[in-house]
Amino acid sequence: MTSNNKKNPALGRGLSALLSDSGASVGGTNTISIEKIQVNPFNPRTDFDQEALQELAESIKALGIIQPLTLRKVNVDVYQIISGERRFRAAKLAGLKEVPAYVRVANDQTMLEMALVENIQRENLNAIEIGLSYSRLIEECKLTQTELSQRISKSRSDIANHLRLLKLPANIQAAVRDNLITMGHARALLSLEHEKEQLAAFNAILEKGLSVREVEQWNKNTEVKSKPVKTTSLSPKAQEISRMIGLSVNIQQGKNGAGKLSITYKNAQELEKILQKLKQG
């Protein structure tokens, strides 16, 4: 097993389950004319960093292409890229006329699945890109989450967590994509029920640098505020105190004006909240 397989074992298992060798010289490494190669129309990634491509082109000029491309043979003179489009583009920049490649046979459905699986295994994908790839595999390749889990050697919970990110508002998804917030932040925001609350917490993350734990606490505070406060209709004073502290209050008053005030709290945080309110007067 090569060091690359050790680094990405899921990639080897995922693609090997989808690829099949066929044809003359298919299965070994071939030298294919660049003029005969087409980019993969199913590749989920369409943006390529030009500076990074130029750096790779310089490396290819000096060392050649270390990892062959993987192509499918469309006809006698046409090949499409299954994986390695970035290497292909850099090779063209480097002025190469031919590239080393493995040649496979695949139909369009398998091509899409191969491209998406290969895309998921890239280390530089962000959580939104991974979620979109999962979504396409499920919707366009007709896979269940269990089947997808087996294809890419990822847990169902990992798949579900990435898919849930796609339910966030577009500007929050963009912030995850651009590394302005982490996936941990995004998952904490998902626990907020309403989009308005998600956006308010999101803005607080950007403005105040809230940690994931602080966002989770934001959610708990929101839940407390949104809960209906149980008060007796016979005690306006109890209702007033409940509104002030945001917790359930009960007043039992005797005939002579004496009585008992009780405040219900569920944890130490809520008790601390009561103490702070009392200190504030």
Hey, what amino acid is at 271? L
The whole-chain average pLDDT of the chain stands at 75
DSSP, collapsed to helix, strand or coil, labels residue 236 as helix
**From 55, 58, 85, 98, active-site residue:** 85
For this structure, is 85 an active site residue? Answer: yes
Determine the Cα–Cα distance for residues 281 and 279; give it in Å rounded to an integer.
5
Per residue of the chain (281 residues), what is the pLDDT tens digit?
A: 334 443 333 333 344 444 444 343 444 678 999 999 998 776 666 667 788 889 889 988 888 887 788 888 888 789 988 878 889 999 999 999 999 988 877 666 777 777 777 777 766 778 888 888 888 788 777 788 898 888 888 899 999 999 999 899 888 888 888 888 999 999 999 988 888 889 889 998 888 888 888 888 876 665 544 444 343 343 566 666 666 666 666 766 666 666 777 777 666 667 777 777 776 65
Tell me the whole-structure pTM to 2 decimals: 0.47
Contact between 80 and 38 (Cβ < 8 Å)? yes
Q: What 8-state DSSP symbol labels residue 232?
A: -
* Residue 92: per-residue pLDDT: 93
Could you give the CA distance from residue 104 to residue 82 in angstroms, rounded to a whole number? 9
38 phi/psi in degrees, rounded to 5: -110, 150
Contacts of 55 (CB under 8 A, 6+ apart): none
**Whole-number Å distance between alpha carbons of 10 and 120:** 10
- Give the pLDDT score at 28: 61
